[in-house]
Every structure is written in structure tokens, then in C-alpha cells.
Amino acid sequence: MITAGIDCGSKNTKVCIVKEGVVLSTASVLSGFDQEESAEQALKSALEKAGIKREEIEHITATGAGMEAIKFSHNTITTITADARGTYSIFPSARTIIDIGAEEGLVIKIDDKGKVKDFGINEKCAAGAGAFIEAMSRALEVDIENMGELSLKSAKQIPINAQCTIFAESEVVSLIHQKTLKEDIIRAVHDAIADRNTSMVRQIGIEKDVALIGGVANNIGFVDSMNRNLGFGLLVPKDGVAPEYVSALGAALVAQDKIGGY
Amino acid sequence: MAKANYGYKDGSGEYFITIDTDLCNSCGKCVEVCPAGVLEMAEDELDPLGDEIIATVSDEHRKKIKYSCAPCKPSGEEKELPCVKVCELGAITHSW
Amino acid sequence: MSNAESNKEYWRWTESRYTNPDLNWKDVDIISAGVDVGSVSTQAVIMVDGKIYCYSSMRTGSDSPDSANNAMDWALDGTGLSLDKIQYIVGTGYGRVNVSFAKRAITEIACHARGANFIYGPEIRTVLDMGGQDCKAIRCDQRGKVTAFLMNDKCAAGTGRGMEVFADLLQVHINDVGKMSLEVEEEPEPVSSTCVVFAKSEAVGLLRKGWPKEKVLAAYCSAMAHRVVTLLLRLGIEEKFAITGGIAKNIGVVKRIEDELKLKAPEPSIDPQLAGAIGAALFAKALVEKERKKS
């Protein structure tokens, strides 16, 4: 039995293809103007990687902000359900899930069976999401992929006072003018967004283990800031499925559950 | 009635702590009970020619009270806030 | 810095200075001054017996103390008046603590109310000040004393900075944004995101969809107007109502606020961007009088 999960994020559209609970392939494309078209492309690419035909997929479940646009999906589920299902399959010990995407942050609490108990959303403000780091990487003229590694070189803690992304941009520019080391500024950027997200986790209540998923989890500097702020280590998906695909994986697994499990 | 609203509105919502500066009697109890150090006693910003010292939200927290006040506002349950509870005159209110 | 910023500077507004030719500082009782160091602009106003004698308005540089000095020097330029002859100087605005020559710092809330009272008259009860990096709603009495306020300086939405981001994105000069936004036949749906970062992506999408610039600007101006109106409603509006700050010059936002409130803001006789500095200069005068009473 083969199923696919499509996560229509605000920035990227991700597909995960699963066979009997095992990931066959993943693929991601930038979410374009036409979300369904982006989903088609991502699916096509994932099918090629898996070496299977479209007809072999029995069920497609869509999730994420743009899921309603995916007319070819068989059903849709919320990001919360998808995150919980995907994370529980990777880390059965996780009781708290933090999902930080390009435009929003989510905190979900699950029980020992993976059932959602509570959740909180940080949305509609770029300051708590990946968009914040992205804007700062542009101001710093550092590739977003290099932000994490660079910040780990920093040994100095400096505050970024602005809460708003737009204002923080100006603050970062003036830090550059003051000849502040780039790695120190980047660490400050990660600390700032980590601070906002950990306070959201504390509001929901921390229950270990805590997993971190979503595209921003690829940033090792941000993970380091989160770990330091929380005082313990977060579980971050490494082998098999990358953090940004956990939601798509969750959708594919829900699709399997739907047509009879495996 | 004179209302000093400290806080902000951003894309995610409205977060304001309102202090009625006429009601505030400068007792300072709210400053003592706030676990996050959000409140402090300072010059009345509404009346710079006067000499009164009253409760305000500290500069440091004005732009992040959604986060600073989060520990007193657990999700999913209504809990009486320490600052609101301690103020016998009812001078402090929260918008969220 | 992006190309648009370095080559054309779409966001840059004009600096100005003025001396009242009918006044002479030599035969007056009190010379007072107010310096408003905002995040984007700095104004210095010098008053003689509570009347505006001269002023300057310029862009705030990267260094607040320098900006205060520069604005003061420019205001004094050609008047023959010098700093030591000013009896009391009050600093206000975001950089108020950095005005080295000021005797006291007073919050911009109090100064704006006082300044609006001076500019628009004692009937003003509600002031909306839209600055470069903040937005303030203030209620005041007939003397310009604050009775309630609300200030949002956390978020760029609803501030001049947000508008600059859009001017830059659309490559339209900041001075033309308001007028251009009114050149639409039908008012479009406002931009749905409050956050400037997300609103910007939304605007890029609208442009890609083929929307002309004026329609995108209309959608942003009306979103901005709606946002500040909700802040005003939280505070409660009492007539008369006035708008001050840089955005008061943006007719596209002002008109939409007036339409939504069904209220008309009076035309200012003096540059409303000066409100904070005027208020500070008036407080400076009052503080001279207060000191005199004590001694």
C-alpha cells in the first residue's frame, strides 16, 4: 500500500511518499502562485525519486496553509494532526512538538499514543517564524543555509531589542555599521526568535521529550539557541526524514490509517 | 478616569495592559507580585508637570508583553492574574 | 542596500527649516525650545513667549545625539540666537534621553497632545500620531493634558516605516504614495496581512497578478487606515479629532481613516510633524514658569 502526503506550506510545497509505513521518497518545490501546480510538480519529482507511477498511489492527503487548493487530494487534515502523526512516528517518546515554518510557529502537546492534547499557534507575525531569520540573512548578506554554522562560532551574547522583523532589520544594519562580528549578530538573531518560541512552549507547558520540526529546525544555530534557552536538548529529525518533511510524512501516514493501516 | 495603555497590536493580536492612572494610589504592590518584572513605579507619563510616581509597564517589556506575561496566562484556563488580583482599586486590566 | 534605495531613495522626504520674520528673540520674556528626536525624523522648535520663532525638521541620522545637535544648529542658523540664550530645553521622542543640551526629557505622548492642542486649537480631544516607527492614539482635555493614551511601537504595521517599505517595493516616491493610492476607480479589498513582511509578499503576488501600482497602494493604505482605526476605537474617540506625524501628510491614509470614522480631521496650519517638538517647547516654557513660582 502506497500513499502520499502533501504539505502546502506558505513557502515550500513538500511531498512525502510512504509504503507500508516506510518513507520511499520526499521532494520539495517553492510554493508558486498556483499551489496545485506546485503540488503536482513536487509529487512528480517524488514519484521519480521513488521510481513508481502515479497510479500506484492509493491515497493522497493534503495538509498545510494551501491545502484547499489541492483538488486532486483525497482528503485534507490540519497541520496539527499531520505534525502529531509524523513526529510520533519518528519520536514515540515526544510529548511536546514545536513546528517552526516560514510564516508560523506551532506548539503541540501529545499523549503517549500520539493523540493531540493541546496546542498553541504563533501566527500572522513574522517575528516568531522562519521569515524573521530569512529577512536577517538578507540584511547580513549571508546565505540562509550558512546562518546556523556561522552563529555557532559566536562566543558573545548581544541582544536584539526590536521585536518586529522590519525594525530588527534596521537594528541588524546598524550593528553591521558598528562593526559587530557577523557571527555574533547571527547568534543574536537566533536567540531572539528562540526566546519568542520558548515562551510560547512554556505557556502551553513543557512535557518531555520535546521535538523540533519544520524547516527552521535545519538551522543548527537556531537549535543551539533553543537548547540553551530551554536548558535541555531538543529531538530533531536527522536520519531518513528531514525536519521540513515531518508534516508531509504525517499526512501520508494518516492516509495509510484511512485506507486500513499497514 | 485616565487610561494608560501599554503594549501593542501586531498581526497575531492585541496585547495591552491598561493602568488607570487616576485610580492608582502608588502602593507598589503590583510591582512586587509580578514574577516577570513587567511593572515598575515611575513618573506619571500623562502628567509631566506633576510629581506623582505611579505604576507603569517597564520600557523593557512594552514591546513583548505577550511573551513576558505568558507564564501567568496558561493556555486553556482562566486564571486570576497576580497584578490584577493584588490591586484593590482595580486599576489594572489586561486586553487578552 | 537595495538598488532602488541607493539610486532613487523613494522613501526620502524633504527636510525643511523656517524663521518667523515677524518675531524678534531680543525683546521677549521666555525663550524655550523643544527637540523631538524620532526614529526617522528630528525636529527642533524654538519658541519666544509661546510663539513659534524658528524650527528645523530633518532626517534622524544613525546617531541620536548628533541628530539633536544638527537639528538645533540648523534651527538656530541665521537667527543670531545661540543655545545659551534659550532658558529651557525639553527633549522628547524615541531618542529623548540623547538630547545632551536638554534640561529634561518628557515622553512624546504628553508632548504630542500639547503640540496638537497648539496646532489645532483647544477643541481637540483625540489625537492620532503616526510616526516613523510608532503609532499613538491620545485623548486630551482642553488644555492639551493627556487623559488616555495608547502607543504601538512594537510593530511596523501602521507606521511610516511600513509605508516606506511599500514605497520602495513599488518604486513610488513616499510623497506621491497617498495621491497615487486615490487614483483608483474602485476601492480594492485591503491587504489581508497585518504584518509588513507578509503584506509585502502579498503585494508581490498582487503585482504578479497584474494589479497596477495604484491599486496595490490603495489596498495597503486602506489596510493601514483600518488598523489605526481599530487602535483608536480601543481608546474611544471624542471629537474633534486630529492627525499628526509624518503620515498626516499621506492623503491616501488620512482620507481612508476619515471615511472609516466618518469624521473629518482639520487641515493643519502648521506642519503636523512638528507637534512633538512644539509640545516639548511649550512644556519647557511651563517649566520656566514653574521654577519662577518656586523661587
A 66-105 residues inside an 8 A Cβ radius of B: none
Residue B70 to residue A122, Cβ atoms within 8 A:
no
pLDDT digits (tens, 9 = 90+) for B43-86: 888 888 888 899 999 999 999 999 999 889 877 677 889 999 99
Our count of domains for chain C comes to 2
- At residue A122, the pLDDT reads 87
CATH topology of domain B3-94: Alpha-Beta Plaits (3.30.70)
- At residue A33, the pLDDT reads 84
Domain containing C33: what range?
Answer: 3-116+274-294
Q: How confident is the model at residue C268 (pLDDT cuts 50, 70, 90)?
A: confident
Q: Is the pLDDT of residue C2 over 70?
A: no
| Averaged pLDDT, C238-247 | 88
pTM of the shown model: 0.90
Residue B10 to residue C154, Cβ atoms within 8 A:
yes
Residue A135 to residue C208, Cβ atoms within 8 A:
no
> Mapped to the 3 state alphabet, what secondary structure does chain A carry?
CEEEEEEECCCEEEEEEEECCEEEEEEEEECCCCHHHHHHHHHHHHHHHHCCCHHHEEEEEEECCCHHHCCCCCEECCHHHHHHHHHHHHCCCCCEEEEECCCCEEEEEECCCCCEEEEEEECCCHHHCHHHHHHHHHHHCCCHHHHHHHHHCCCCCCCCCCCCHHHHHHHHHHHHHCCCCHHHHHHHHHHHHHHHHHHHHHHHCCCCCEEEECHHHHCHHHHHHHHHHHCCCCECCCCCCCHHHHHHHHHHHHHHHHCCCC
- At residue A190, the pLDDT reads 98
Same-domain pairing of C25 and C46: yes
Interface size between A and C, measured as CB pairs under 8 A: 39
**Which residues on chain B are in Cβ contact (under 8 Å) with C231?**
9
Residue B14 to residue C234, Cβ atoms within 8 A:
yes
> What is the nearest CA distance from C79 to chain B, expressed in angstroms?
30
Residue B2 to residue C146, Cβ atoms within 8 A:
yes
What span, in angstroms and rounded, lies between the C-alpha atoms of A65 and A76?
A: 11
CB nearest B49 (choices: C148, C151, C286):
C286
- At residue A183, the pLDDT reads 96
pLDDT digits (tens, 9 = 90+) for A6-37: 999 999 999 999 999 999 999 999 998 889 99
- At residue C14, the pLDDT reads 75
| Residue ranges of domains in chain A | 1-91+240-262, 94-236
CATH number for C147: 3.30.420.40
Compare all CA atoms of chain C with the CA of B63 and give the residue at the minimum distance: C154
Q: How confident is the model at residue C94 (pLDDT cuts 50, 70, 90)?
A: confident
- At residue C245, the pLDDT reads 80
Residue type, A132: F
Q: How confident is the model at residue C1 (pLDDT cuts 50, 70, 90)?
A: very low
> What is the nearest CA distance from A95 to chain B, expressed in angstroms?
16
- At residue A116, the pLDDT reads 97
Q: Which CATH class for the A1-91+240-262 domain?
A: alpha beta
Residue B3 to residue C193, Cβ atoms within 8 A:
no
Same-domain pairing of C158 and C240: yes
Q: How confident is the model at residue A215 (pLDDT cuts 50, 70, 90)?
A: very high
Q: How confident is the model at residue C7 (pLDDT cuts 50, 70, 90)?
A: very low
pLDDT digits (tens, 9 = 90+) for B15-26: 999 999 999 999
- At residue C8, the pLDDT reads 54
Residue A124 to residue C198, Cβ atoms within 8 A:
yes
Residue B5 to residue C155, Cβ atoms within 8 A:
no
pLDDT digits (tens, 9 = 90+) for A44-97: 999 999 999 999 999 999 999 999 999 999 999 999 999 999 999 999 999 999
| Averaged pLDDT, C7-34 | 85
Fold agreement (A1-91+240-262, A94-236)? yes
> What is the nearest CA distance from C215 to chain B, expressed in angstroms?
22
| Averaged pLDDT, A164-193 | 95
Kindly report the CA angle at C50 between C48 and C52, in degrees rounded to 5? 65
- At residue C152, the pLDDT reads 92
- At residue C6, the pLDDT reads 41
Give A29's contacts (C-beta < 8 A, 6+ positions apart): A12, A13, A38, A41, A42, A45
Residue B67 to residue A200, Cβ atoms within 8 A:
yes
> What is the nearest CA distance from C103 to chain A, expressed in angstroms?
27
Interface size between B and C, measured as CB pairs under 8 A: 72
> What is the nearest CA distance from A195 to chain C, expressed in angstroms?
16
Q: Which CATH class for the A94-236 domain?
A: alpha beta
| Strands (DSSP E) found in C23-118 | 31-37, 41-48, 51-59, 88-92, 104-105
Q: Is the pLDDT of residue C251 over 90?
A: yes
Q: Is the ipTM of this complex over 0.95?
A: no
Q: Is the pLDDT of residue C283 over 50?
A: yes
Mutate to test the interface with B, among A116, A163, A164 (most CBs of B within 10 A): A163
Same-domain pairing of C93 and C154: no
What span, in angstroms and rounded, lies between the C-alpha atoms of A108 and B68?
A: 20
- At residue C47, the pLDDT reads 98
Q: Is the pLDDT of residue B9 over 80?
A: yes
Q: Which segment, A213-217, A237-241, B47-51, C39-43, is predicted with the most confidence on average?
A: A213-217
Kindly report the CA angle at C157 between C156 and C162, in degrees rounded to 5? 70
- At residue C64, the pLDDT reads 72
Same-domain pairing of C60 and C155: no
| Averaged pLDDT, C257-280 | 92
